């Protein structure tokens, strides 16, 4: 008989049925969905929460700042800060004038100097600048030389419909400063300040007539001091500022918050022709001395060492066996019987200080010597053969732009592009007396003098040294380059040679040759 008893399958009669398991495919799908949800939350949710939190933080920070400012304002600090700017401007602005110069023929502007837009009317060229009254009682006004250079007429605008003619008292192209005088009742005198007390970060204000907008004021800070080697002026030690300076600001004052002049706005560094954040002003430590000399003597007398210089680099320092970290300038040449020669300064010496003032580059040494003036005897420190030495040197008057009087011409140092495209110093003919010996020989302003006889010359010092070996009463052989780039040799006959020719005794002919390469 078949049995009806059910067999136990391992679960027991009373055990629950087995739970179905999730298939592997479905489990993977769930995991992927979870990961995607997390990714969406990370991409959209977290930034949303962060943005909301950031906004709340910024809002709280802004509210806190506003509350702090309100508290400071209640104490009068904010209004006092603005009041400083207003008071400084009010103290100086009435002494700032508009300066316009006129010349009959177009002139050539200097690179980087902010002139006003020239207006051409029937061949008359006009240049716009600014100026500042430094002596109301005597009518003296300071401006830039490049604003009034070669001007046939100078007009100063003291106020609306108040234009008066001005007379040039003196100009100094080497620092780009000039002093004018007007016969009119002036409102006020701006006071000189001390630029030596300026430091980077100090507030300054520029006042002038940018693009003809009289008494415009811009604010900024001192970005740097003692900027030189910019080749804007021969003697440089500029204050750099980010106060906006534009065409027409030239000659106007740069003032501090005490309402005193600390600089004369002079130039901008720009690639567009307008303001780009770099303005340059002549510091009062230099400008005041130049202005006082122009008013007193009509010219500026500078100290002169009689040496040619070269920057000191690491390779030269090692070759001269200088101590590590030594700074100074290398003497390239010494003018015979000049101040440095009499002090036994020799080529190869490295000058480190003059009158206790350290020098780091040729421009700095020239500036110090010029600032000391002529006729003073000062200590000079230098290295020779790796050893420190000192001497005393009596500075002479600088013969820069010397005039070769017997032959009727004057020279000056200028910058010209060298073969490598970098600026180099050259000797340029500055002035030629009409119908004089140099003029009759074909010498003209703008020519470059490359050599005297067979001696190459690259600066005024070398030129002065070279002409010492020639009898200027008889002849001076030169090799020059004309403005169109042609090289030519010419001989200037002096007065004695001319008289011999007139008397039937022609001088021995001299055919100048190009200098040896």
Active site residues: 146, 176, 250
Q: Helices (H), strands (E): how many in the chain?
A: 11, 28
Contacts of 25 (CB under 8 A, 6+ apart): none
Task: Answer yes or no: are the C-beta atoms of 460 and 404 closer than 8 Å.
Answer: no
* Residue ranges of E strands in 375-474: 377-384, 387-394, 396-397, 403-404, 409-417, 423-432, 448-452, 455-456
What span, in angstroms and rounded, lies between the C-alpha atoms of 369 and 376? Answer: 10
Q: How far is CA 417 from CA 57, 181, 273, 425, 456, in A?
A: 58, 38, 21, 9, 17
What span, in angstroms and rounded, lies between the C-alpha atoms of 376 and 398? Answer: 13
* Residue ranges of E strands in 288-374: 303-304, 307-311, 329-334, 350-354, 357-358
Task: Answer yes or no: are the C-beta atoms of 177 and 142 closer than 8 Å.
Answer: yes
SS3 state of residue 132: strand
SS3 state of residue 211: helix
Look at residues 465, 336, 346 and name the one whose alpha carbon lies nearest to residue 402.
465
Beta bridge partners of 124: 121
Q: What is the helix (H) or strand (E) element at residue 50, kind and residue range?
A: helix 46-74
Q: What is the helix (H) or strand (E) element at residue 437, kind and residue range?
A: helix 437-440
The token pair at 263 is 């600089």
Look at residues 321, 307, 310 and name the one whose alpha carbon lies nearest to residue 387.
321
Task: Answer yes or no: are the C-beta atoms of 229 and 361 closer than 8 Å.
Answer: yes
What span, in angstroms and rounded, lies between the C-alpha atoms of 511 and 514? Answer: 10
The token pair at 294 is 């122009």
The token pair at 70 is 């309100």
Question: Alpha carbon 493 to chain centroid distance?
Answer: 41
Beta bridge partners of 480: 449, 488
Contacts of 158 (CB under 8 A, 6+ apart): 97, 164, 182, 184, 186, 187
């Amino acid at each position: 008989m078949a049995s009806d008893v059910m067999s136990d399958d391992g679960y027991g009669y009373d055990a629950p049925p087995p739970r179905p398991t999730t298939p592997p495919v479905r489990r993977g799908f769930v995991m992927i969905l979870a990961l995607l949800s997390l990714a969406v939350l990370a991409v959209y949710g977290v930034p949303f929460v962060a943005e909301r939190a950031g906004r709340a933080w910024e809002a709280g920070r802004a509210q806190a700042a506003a509350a702090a400012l309100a508290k400071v304002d209640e104490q009068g600090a904010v209004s006092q800060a603005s009041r400083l700017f207003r008071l400084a401007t009010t103290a100086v602005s009435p002494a700032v004038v508009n300066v316009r110069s006129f010349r009959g023929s177009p002139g050539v502007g200097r690179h980087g100097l902010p002139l006003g837009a020239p207006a051409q009317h029937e061949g008359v060229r006009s240049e716009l600048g600014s100026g500042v009254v430094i002596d109301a009682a005597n009518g003296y006004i300071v401006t830039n030389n490049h604003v009034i250079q070669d001007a046939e007429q100078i007009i100063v605008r003291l106020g609306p419909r108040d234009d008066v003619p001005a007379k040039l008292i003196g100009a100094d192209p080497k620092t780009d400063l000039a002093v004018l005088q007007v016969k009119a009742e002036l409102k006020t005198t701006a006071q000189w300040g001390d630029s030596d007390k300026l430091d980077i970060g100090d507030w300054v204000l520029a006042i002038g007539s940018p693009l003809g907008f009289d008494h415009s004021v811009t604010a900024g800070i001192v970005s740097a001091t003692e900027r030189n080697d910019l080749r804007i002026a021969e003697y440089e030690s500029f204050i750099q500022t980010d106060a906006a300076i534009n065409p027409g600001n030239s000659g106007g004052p740069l003032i501090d918050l005490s309402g005193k002049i600390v600089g004369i706005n002079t130039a901008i560094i720009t690639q567009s022709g307008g303001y780009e954040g770099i303005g340059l002003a002549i510091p009062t430590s230099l400008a005041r001395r130049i202005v006082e000399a122009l008013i007193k003597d009509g010219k500026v007398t500078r100290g002169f060492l009689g040496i040619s210089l070269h920057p000191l680099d690491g390779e030269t320092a090692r070759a001269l066996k200088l101590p590590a970290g030594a700074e100074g300038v290398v003497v390239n040449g010494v003018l015979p019987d000049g101040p440095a020669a009499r002090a036994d300064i020799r080529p190869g010496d490295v000058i480190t200080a003059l009158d206790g003032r350290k020098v780091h580059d040729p421009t700095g040494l020239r500036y110090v010597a010029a600032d000391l003036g002529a006729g003073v005897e000062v200590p000079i420190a230098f290295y020779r053969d790796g050893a420190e030495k000192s001497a005393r040197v009596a500075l002479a008057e600088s013969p820069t732009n010397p005039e070769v009087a017997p032959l009727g011409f004057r020279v000056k140092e200028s910058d010209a592009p060298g073969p490598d495209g970098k600026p180099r110093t050259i000797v340029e003919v500055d002035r030629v007396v009409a119908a004089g010996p140099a003029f009759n020989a074909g010498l003209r302003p703008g020519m470059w003098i490359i050599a005297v006889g067979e001696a190459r010359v690259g600066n005024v010092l070398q030129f002065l040294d070279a002409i010492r070996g020639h009898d200027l009463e008889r002849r001076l052989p030169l090799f020059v380059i004309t403005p169109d780039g042609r090289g030519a040799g010419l001989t200037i006959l002096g007065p004695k040679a001319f008289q011999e020719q007139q008397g039937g005794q022609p001088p021995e002919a001299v055919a100048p040759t190009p200098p040896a390469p």
